Chain A
């Protein structure tokens, strides 16, 4: 049962138990049994006490209703924070994938650059070797030597 309805029901119980002082019907006065003795002061005290309890119950109901609204607001706030945390977590996981992707693309680029570096270094060494060969004086009366291209061998 919802909390509000529970207290409405409690209030109705207090309301039902409030004694109604009604004048006795005239016919009842002719009953053979003697009329009961009503203690007015006690009844008044009982009524006062009941009203006091009802006021306290109403006050407590208002406090709980306020707490319920507070609880609802807190719950909504928690749900919003949870959504933000989920979004932050998903963004962090996305950042992780992006970092891996960036690192791998950098590796591919490094590989390409190193390949270019190797090729240019080999070309430079071949040119140096060719230059040294051409700088050597030709031997006397020797047939012209065919240029030899040594590809892939080490050069100092």
Chain B
């Protein structure tokens, strides 16, 4: 069979009641290169199931095996299928005539073999009457494809994917007769991308004889979701819902209100309550040029109400050696001759292992509650970037009120200081931070803001000796003008230009240092 060939597998055991209708719906597929493969999983109904299938003659293929369960039947179908693409149809469900044709068309256009399509469906009763529809939020699933699995939105009979993909990840797990499909989707989420097709392509029958209603199925289902809660890493959870805490809360809601797993929902809620406290935290410290200032900066980290898991000290080997080695915090050293702030920050972030990473540039210091406040906010809200107000030479600079969806406004008004920032490592892994070693630090805040919301803490949580944002404004303007992504924002760049001109020293009235006057940023949070 050719590249557009599809195998429709129909596993069945004692399914004479609805099997004929299912096979007929498969035969009515408009897509020409379709093979129908019925796998009789040890039916013991005096041959009635086999008789129903046999009546279709050579229009279908029939395989018979001793009873082994749905997973074994599906693996049998996978092994014997001749189609390049694979889909499966429960014996009591129906395909719409356009199902295969429409999905093959989508796969042909994207031309990828690591895609698994799934679709909407109609519900039918025991008599085949349509009783409702399940239409999913297509835009949401396009933006966050992993939700397809974690929100339990995939019906196996709606899928179409490459047979080789299913074989490569090991087929269906025969140890789980009732959740073999969910476990397959979980593995597929890591190896492929689920793509939603917004059409009702399957009629799914709800009737009392279904196996999914039995208590052993429910027990196995509960065990599966416990495995998901325990086996989803911090980073995976962040990719789905912004933080592990939010992932656990949202999964708990799903389990409580859209599945019969109440006890697992309670477990998810308990795990969510301790997620923030269990999250790992690193602090990347640019130790600067003065040993004593660096000591004070490090001392402010060690005085935190919530001590970080590690400090990553970046700077010259001479300063690092002078600082010594005996710190209460786990310490990682990254000696470097690099002097550019963005490059040093990138070196530190590469070495950091924490889920949340605070930035500190000596001689700046942290307030004692800094790390706790940032982690609590980011964990609860799922924000990947946070910053705070700060104090400088006795004055409070309320930059922390600048938050929400601040792009492109941030292009013209970026007062964020590096020593007030905490990020989730997912942000660094996505390639948004400090990728250009010559760029000003503010370039990274802008890159982050262009994709994500920023969380601002209005309390001053850092002490900034020498604010850098104002002194970087000229460099930032040049960088923005040179950037194809940002140079088109004329209004914001003009505002930055005006601010830069206004802060230039005026020789006739007596000079004042650029950046020494701190504007009070009373901007309210931008609307999300």
Binding site for A on B (CB under 8 A): 105-106, 109-110, 112, 115, 138-139, 141-146, 190, 192-198, 235-236, 239, 313, 317, 320-321, 325, 327, 330-333, 335, 350-351, 353, 425-426, 429-430
Partner of A96, one of B142, B239, B350: B142
Query: How many A-B residue pairs lie within 8 Å, measured between CB atoms?
Result: 91
Q: Which residues in B have their C-beta under 8 angstroms from that of A117?
A: 350
Verify B239–A107 contact, CB threshold 8 A: yes
Q: Which residues in B have their C-beta under 8 angstroms from that of A102?
A: 193
Asked if A65 lies at the interface with its beta carbon under 8 angstroms from chain B, I say no
Number of interface residues of A (CB under 8 A): 31
Q: Which residues in A have their C-beta under 8 angstroms from that of B142?
A: 93-94, 96-97, 100
Closest 9 CB pairs of A and B: A101-B193, A91-B109, A154-B333, A107-B429, A154-B331, A97-B145, A94-B195, A97-B142, A110-B429
Verify B313–A154 contact, CB threshold 8 A: yes
**Per-position 1/0 for A111-129, Cβ under 8 A of B:** 1001101100110000000
Kindly provide the distance from the CB of A152 to the nearest chain B CB, expressed in whole angstroms: 5
Q: Which residues in B have their C-beta under 8 angstroms from that of A156?
A: 317, 320-321, 333, 335
Verify A96–B325 contact, CB threshold 8 A: no
Verify A118–B353 contact, CB threshold 8 A: yes
Q: Which residues in B have their C-beta under 8 angstroms from that of A95?
A: 110
Partner of B109, one of A87, A118, A121: A87
Verify A97–B235 contact, CB threshold 8 A: no
Verify B236–A108 contact, CB threshold 8 A: yes
**Per-position 1/0 for A34-74, Cβ under 8 A of B:** 00000000000000000000000000000000000000000
The A interface is mostly helix, strand or loop, or mixed, namely helix
Q: Which residues in B have their C-beta under 8 angstroms from that of A93?
A: 138-139, 142
Partner of B145, one of A100, A115, A121: A100
Q: Which residues in B have their C-beta under 8 angstroms from that of A108?
A: 190, 235-236, 239
Asked if A85 lies at the interface with its beta carbon under 8 angstroms from chain B, I say no
Asked if A133 lies at the interface with its beta carbon under 8 angstroms from chain B, I say no
Verify B112–A152 contact, CB threshold 8 A: no
Nearest residue, chain B, Cβ from A119 = B353
Q: A97-B145, A98-B193 are in contact. Are A111 and B333 (CB under 8 A)?
A: no
Q: A87-B105, A118-B353, A154-B325 are in contact. Are A98 and B333 (CB under 8 A)?
A: no
Verify B333–A155 contact, CB threshold 8 A: yes
Verify B115–A98 contact, CB threshold 8 A: yes
Partner of B330, one of A88, A115, A152: A152
Q: Which residues in B have their C-beta under 8 angstroms from that of A110?
A: 429
Q: A107-B430, A121-B351 are in contact. Are A97 and B141 (CB under 8 A)?
A: yes
Q: How far is the CA of A15 from the CA of B353 in the complex (A)?
A: 95
Asked if A12 lies at the interface with its beta carbon under 8 angstroms from chain B, I say no
Verify A91–B110 contact, CB threshold 8 A: yes
Q: How far is the CA of A90 from the CA of B102 in the complex (A)?
A: 10
Verify B351–A118 contact, CB threshold 8 A: yes
Q: How far is the CA of A64 from the CA of B110 in the complex (A)?
A: 44
Q: Which residues in A have their C-beta under 8 angstroms from that of B239?
A: 104, 107-108
Partner of A104, one of B146, B313, B327: B146
Q: How far is the CA of A97 from the CA of B107 in the complex (A)?
A: 13
Q: Which residues in B have their C-beta under 8 angstroms from that of A97?
A: 141-143, 145, 193-196
Verify B196–A111 contact, CB threshold 8 A: no
